[in-house]
Amino acid sequence: MKSIHPIILAHGGAGLRAITAPQAACLRAALQVGYHLLDRGGSALIAVEQTIRVLERSGLFNAGKGSRLQLDGVRRMDASIMEGHDLRAGAVASVEGIVHPITAARLVMEQTNHVMLVGAPATTFARHFKLERQPRRPRHRPAGVASMTRGLSSEALRLYRDMMKGSLLLRERGGKETVGAVALDRSGTVAAGASTGGIDLMLPGRVGDTPIIGCGVYADNQSGAVSMTGLGEGIIRLAVAKEICDRLVQGKAPVTVARLVLKRLITRIKGAAGALVLTSKGRFAIAHVMPHMAAGWWDGKGAPMVGDKFQ
């Protein structure tokens, strides 16, 4: 059997802000880590996990050490990972106090018969496997009700206050976004993963698309691999990752499929998102309908390609 040339794609989220120089450098480093694993015969699954771990650890994106705070001042993170050969998948939602939710998601896939663990039990599970910890609440964070609630609807604020009967804490700023990756290994297997700290001003317990298989990620060797970023509620309502993969089965080009589905996201529910799309033949697309998407790819030739505006 002829060996397939591997490739990896990664993203640091889509939104209004342009990519910064440190974020671009971090994405390049992450792509190098992932590709070198693939080049040595490593699996797409492990390459995706390790690529995302670099981004989680950096603190430059809304994942791992850079995760945003929910309204009670706690980091609650989501992640998922999936491989396309046997359709194995694992996910965690609202996990606290760890640096690498993507690894917790892989452990759910490999060490249990389940697909997703959530909340406090997910945190206990991660601690059982001695995953690296971080504070649930940042040690150095200013407090201020006015700053925390700026832009929050009165209904959401009222709901939160009724629920918690407590004070609010200042949200973190910095334009950090969800991270993700897709990869193709030498055996022709694809994998996809994503990790996030959510969105600004979340109600505690809010979960977006990232840990939901078929919404934030999907991988199937018969179609391809997808990792999403953007407004999770809209991505969930259209199950975007699975829809992209379903259309890939029809033989359409990844860029065509990505554009069609993202256009439908806008016209149907006024959503906003970006996507990494990769087939088991190595065809790929990076597409977004938001002004910027920090992303890149590398197939081992030249230097990793990183930017924030793609077709």
Q: Is 139 part of a structural domain of the chain? A: no
pTM of this structure: 0.89
Residue 12 in any domain: the answer is yes
What number is the average pLDDT over the span 178-182?
97
pLDDT of residue 134 exceeding 50, the answer is yes
In a domain, 115, yes or no: no
Domain assignment of residue 210, yes or no: yes
Please say if 256 is a catalytic residue. no
The overall average pLDDT reported for the chain is 89
| Tokens 């934030």 found at | 216
* pLDDT tens digit sequence for 204-242: 889 999 999 999 999 999 999 999 999 999 999 999 999
- State mean pLDDT over 298-310: 96
Do the domain assignments include residue 132? no
Confidence class of residue 140 from pLDDT cuts 50, 70 and 90?
low
The CATH number that applies at residue 211 is 3.60.20.30
Q: What is the pLDDT of residue 225?
A: 98
Instruction: Say which of 103, 149, 178, 229 is annotated catalytic.
Output: 178
Distance from C-alpha of 301 to C-alpha of 290, rounded to nearest angstrom = 29
- Residue 85 domain flag: no
Q: How confident is the model at residue 165 (pLDDT cuts 50, 70, 90)?
A: very low
CA distances, 21 to each of 17, 302, 308 (Å):
12, 19, 11
In a domain, 51, yes or no: yes
Nearest to 52 by CA among 176, 179, 157: 179
How many domains does the chain fold into? Answer: 1
Least confident range of 129-143, 228-242, 296-310: 129-143
Residue 125 lies in a domain: no
pLDDT grade, residue 167 (50/70/90)? very low
What does the buried/exposed string (b/e) look like for 132-159 if buried means 16 or more CB atoms within 10 Å of the residue's CB? eebeeeeeeeeeeeeebbeebeeeebee
pLDDT at 24 over 60: yes
Residue-level pLDDT at 145: 37
Domain extent at residue 232: 7-67+175-199+206-307
